[in-house]
């Protein structure tokens, strides 16, 4: 019975992703497998957290304004479809956490899983909603105004969105487990995780300058010419930053609850 429910729920989620063209084909297959693993090991509550992260990311990504589209187009190396690396970066640490939960039968790992999901949604809401902010964002390291859409930026609107994202995941945990201290820790860790992500993004993530228009971008090409590396390490793209901040957030959460 459990396996039928697991496959049905994951199939529904994957179908939605397929219809909405949210994922590339390989990402879709791997996301379906991760969803099966997460639901089978963690149960309905873990599935609901995953589905919420997915749905909110989908909705936030659809908020379209002319300005936002222009900003994103010139800055990011990826299109709107999430690829395989992005799915692995966001879901693998959580799935790993549930494998440890199953092996150790230690309920604390469910709290860590929830914190990781909270961080995932915090991160996407902070960037997708934060970019709508009318004020220019600040670079988290220099605290100077920065080009909207770049990694390492923070804005008040983004921080508020990230807090509410974490709160929703924490609420799902609370409904199933009725533990208020853990509810607070999940909200805190999710929001903190977003700051860690911005911090790592500002510190390490690769940035290029266009030789023609001098815009700072994450693209390797701009205005039809090759951009110059101005900061960061080439291997630290958005996915590597995501998975690193996920792992750090997971450790912080674990240290807070043991
Ligand atoms: Zn340019």
Distance from Cα 155 to the centre of ligand 1, integer Å:
24
Q: For residues 159 and 170, what is the distance between their CA atoms, to the nearest angstrom?
A: 16
Distance from Cα 222 to the centre of ligand 1, integer Å:
4
Evaluate if residue 219 carries a pLDDT over 90.
Answer: no
Query: Which pLDDT does position 27 carry in this prediction?
Result: 93
Contact 155, 130 (CB under 8 A): yes
Q: Average pLDDT, whole number, for the chain?
A: 91
Percent of the chain with pLDDT over 90: 66
Q: What is the pLDDT of residues 33-48, one digit of tens each?
A: 999 999 999 999 999 9
Evaluate if residue 225 carries a pLDDT over 60.
Answer: yes
Q: What is the pLDDT of residues 50-91, one digit of tens each?
A: 999 999 998 988 876 656 666 666 566 555 678 888 899 999
Query: Which pLDDT does position 138 carry in this prediction?
Result: 92
Query: Which pLDDT does position 47 carry in this prediction?
Result: 97
Distance from Cα 215 to the centre of ligand 1, integer Å:
6
Distance from Cα 70 to the centre of ligand 1, integer Å:
13
Query: Which pLDDT does position 76 carry in this prediction?
Result: 60
Distance from Cα 218 to the centre of ligand 1, integer Å:
12
Residue range 15-21: average pLDDT? 91
Distance from Cα 227 to the centre of ligand 1, integer Å:
8
Q: For residues 251 and 110, what is the distance between their CA atoms, to the nearest angstrom?
A: 13
**CA 83-85-88 angle, 5° bins:** 110
Distance from Cα 216 to the centre of ligand 1, integer Å:
9
- pTM, 2 dp: 0.91
The C-alpha R_g of the chain, in whole angstroms, comes to 18
* Domain ranges (residues) in the chain: 2-257
Q: For residues 29 and 34, what is the distance between their CA atoms, to the nearest angstrom?
A: 9
Q: What is the pLDDT of residues 95-140, one digit of tens each?
A: 999 999 999 999 999 999 999 999 999 999 998 898 888 888 999 9
Distance from Cα 177 to the centre of ligand 1, integer Å:
51
Distance from Cα 105 to the centre of ligand 1, integer Å:
53
Distance from Cα 235 to the centre of ligand 1, integer Å:
23
Written as six digits, the tokens of 238 are 């958005």
Q: What is the pLDDT of residues 151-160, one digit of tens each?
A: 889 999 999 9
Distance from Cα 210 to the centre of ligand 1, integer Å:
5
Distance from Cα 229 to the centre of ligand 1, integer Å:
13
Q: What is the pLDDT of residues 228-255, one digit of tens each?
A: 998 888 888 888 999 999 999 999 999 9
Distance from Cα 69 to the centre of ligand 1, integer Å:
16
């Amino acid at each position: 019975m459990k396996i039928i429910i697991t496959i049905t729920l994951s199939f529904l989620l994957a179908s939605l992703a397929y219809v909405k063209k949210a994922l590339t084909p390989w990402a879709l297959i791997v996301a379906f497998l991760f969803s099966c693993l997460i639901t089978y090991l963690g149960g309905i509550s873990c599935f609901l957290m995953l589905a919420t992260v997915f749905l909110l990311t989908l909705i936030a990504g659809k908020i379209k304004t002319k300005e936002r589209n222009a900003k994103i187009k010139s800055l990011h190396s990826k299109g709107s479809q999430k690829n395989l690396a992005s799915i692995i970066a966001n879901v693998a640490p959580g799935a790993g956490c549930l494998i440890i939960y199953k092996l150790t039968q230690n309920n604390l790992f469910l709290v860590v899983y929830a914190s990781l999901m909270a961080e995932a949604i915090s991160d996407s809401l902070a960037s997708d909603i934060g970019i709508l902010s009318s004020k220019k964002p600040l670079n988290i390291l220099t605290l100077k105004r920065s080009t909207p859409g770049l990694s390492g930026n923070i804005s008040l609107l983004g921080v508020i969105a990230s807090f509410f994202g974490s709160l929703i995941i924490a609420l799902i945990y609370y409904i199933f487990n009725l533990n208020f201290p853990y509810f607070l820790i999940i909200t805190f860790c999710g929001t903190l995780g977003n700051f860690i992500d911005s911090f790592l993004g500002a510190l390490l993530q690769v940035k290029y300058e266009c030789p023609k228009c001098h815009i700072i971008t994450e693209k390797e090409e701009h205005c039809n010419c090759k951009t110059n590396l101005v900061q960061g390490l080439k291997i630290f793209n958005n996915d590597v930053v995501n998975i690193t901040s996920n792992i750090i957030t997971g450790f912080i959460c674990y240290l807070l609850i043991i």
